[in-house]
Amino acid sequence: MTSRMKPARAAEEHDSPEFQFSLMENLLRGRALRHLTVDGVDAVFVRDPVLVRTILVNESKNYGKGELFRKARNLSRVGMLSDDEAMHRHYRRLASPYLRSSSVDAYVPAMRDIVRVHASSWRAGDPVDIQSEMCRITCAIVVGTLIEGLPPETTQALSERLSRLAWEMIRKPLYGKSAARAARPGASRRLSKARTEFRELLAACIADLLNSPESTIGYLSALLADSDDQGNRVLTAEEVCEEAVMMLTAATVTTASVMSWSLHVLSQDSSVEERLLKDLTQRRSGNRANGHDASSYTLRFLMEILRLYPPVWISCRKTLSDVALGDHLLPAGTNVVFSSYLLHRDPEHYPDPRRFDPDRWLSINPSKADASYIPFGIGSKGCIGEVFAWEQLEAILDVVTQEWKLSTEPDRQVRTAPETTLHPRRLLLVPQPR
């Protein structure tokens, strides 16, 4: 059976008129998968988390990039975004030393200093555009930690330009008529300008590194130093720039959206805020859990934010050959779509799934047998920056809440915007000194 998704008036607070989640839930209820037309493309939408794990892990070699949502990506087609599996693995290995736990632990003091500088510029009682501020903070953190050896003024200029690019990327429509309009020539002038300005400055930094062969620190230097068996450089300066743009943007747009939701939830629930502040104080004094250890309320809080508001809310793969997915035969070239937003709100895995309840993680462990919880993806192409993201989220959360109590302006409703990331449509919060 084939159904066609059409933009419709939002039926509830968190629905989008461009991608109506409640409609999708109704269409998929009781079905492991269903043939649908999504964004004008015939596809199979998969709701079963076991089958999603099959796609991403068990039989990932049978699936390549899908055709949907091409309009909103890609920033790069080399390195980790390459269709070539060997190239993808190679560039993951190049980035890995800068994103492993030992390296990220060393970044934490710098992360906290950067957050403190930005948050101290807010003025008591003046509404703050939280999404924009989270872009500024996350971009400053990523540039300040991953790109080393730059003059301070260059680091600041690079982070400001990356922030403008991230802000435009976050709001780029993925689906429906808005995306079609945004894809027209000249329609995304602000995005194009932001990308050009960031790439120009980044390219200049890369040129300086090429002229200073003694500089061997930082992620950019690692990309430039990549060579084959004969000692020839593998990537051109242009390709290094492309790969770095992709990595830096991916590391910021997702975290900025997650932090925006985190601060929104805290502004709505004083009991959650009180428990979080107490736990953050304990963790700051050295009583820290790691990874997904649910003994920490801070980690349970962030896990619940990521469950309800996964930044990468929808994904698409394409079958590379005829495959069997469960009891279903899919011919080569089939677009296969799944949504972490819907997987994370499945009542079979999460009772009362729309309720924000960090303590649910005291009795629920993310399953390795299925994909019922995949905020960072899963398998060989899961998010390489997951460890970095956890530390960055906690650092921002801790420093901001130490200094400010944030409240929502009266009578202002916050809507969900499923665009490049799942982010608040417009989130203005009023800071008051803690």
**First and final CA of the chain: distance in angstroms?**
56
Rounded to whole angstroms, the maximal C-alpha distance in the chain is: 65
Within 8 A by CB and 6+ apart from 110, the residues are: 141, 144, 145
CA atoms of 172 and 183, how far apart (whole Å): 10
* Residue 383 marked ligand-binding: yes
- Identify each DSSP E strand in 183-334 by its residue range: 315-319, 323-325, 328-330
**Token pair 């091409």 is at which residue?**
70
Are the CB atoms for 241 and 229 separated by under 8 Å? Answer: no
Residues paired with residue 324 on neighbouring β-strands, in sequence order: 329
Full DSSP string of 386-411:
HHHHHHHHHHHHHHHHHHEEEEEPTT
Alpha-carbon distances, residue 416 vs 18, 185, 259, 422 (angstroms): 11, 27, 14, 7
2-4/33-38 β-pairing:
parallel
Rounded to whole angstroms, what are the CA distances from 288 to 297, 347, 365? 11, 31, 19
Report the candidate in 141, 135, 244, 259 with the shortest Cα–Cα distance to residue 199.
244
- The residue whose two tokens read 């919880």 is 373
Number of H helices, E strands in the chain: 14, 13
Binding residue positions? 383
Binding residue positions for heme? 383
